[in-house]
Structures are given as C-alpha cells and as structure tokens.
Amino acid sequence: MTTSIATKEELKARIEAGIPGASAEVHGDDGHHFEAVVVSPAFAGLSRIAQHRLVYDVFDGELGGRIHALALQTKAE
C-alpha cells in the first residue's frame, strides 16, 4: 500500500475496513509500535488466536517489518 511510516489513523482505518463491523481504537505515535483494541461481532465464538489472526491478516506481511509491533486486545462486543 505504502512504504511511508505507519500511523495510528492508517491502522484504525485499515482494521475497520478489513473486519466486518469492527471498531478500533489505536494508540502509538512512533510509527512502529502500536496498541489496538478492536471490537467486532465477527469475533463472536472465535478463540483469541483466531480473533488476533483476523486482525493480523489485515496487515499481511507488514507485522514485524514496517509495523514492528501491534499489541492487540480483541472483543466480540
């Protein structure tokens, strides 16, 4: 998408676009380390692993690279 520094606004927009019904609260201002709380009905009935994978999938290949770290908390509602 872009090779520029990541922003919390970008992460929020991409999570909310990528996961049905999701609302995300993203913190982090250094361009590399972020924290996100993501709430989506799509998480209902999924294990934590599966919930986090849905979010990781939004950033396919960028985690650990352009986005160094994304601390996650996911909730179904």
Partner 1 sequence: MSDETQNPLRDAIEDAIRTNPVILFMKGTPEQPMCGFSARTAGALQALEAPFAAVDVLPDPRIRQELSALSNWPTIPQLFVNGELVGGCDIVTEMYESGELAQLLGVEQPDEAPQPAGAEAQAAPLSIENRLG
Please report, as ranges, the residues that interact with partner 1 according to CB under 8 A.
Answer: 48-49, 52-53, 56, 61, 63-64, 69, 71-73
Q: Which residue lies nearer to partner 1 by CB, 39 or 63?
A: 63
Shortest CB 55 distance to partner 1, Å = 11
Nearest approach, Cβ of residue 56 and partner 1 (Å): 5
Handedness of CA 48, 51, 53, 56 (dihedral sign): negative
3-state secondary structure of 70: strand
C-beta of 39 vs 72, nearer to partner 1: 72
Contact present, 48 and 16 (Cβ < 8 Å): no
Length of the chain: 77
* Residue listed under structure tokens 């927009």: 13
Judged by CB, which is closer to partner 1: 42, or 63?
A: 63
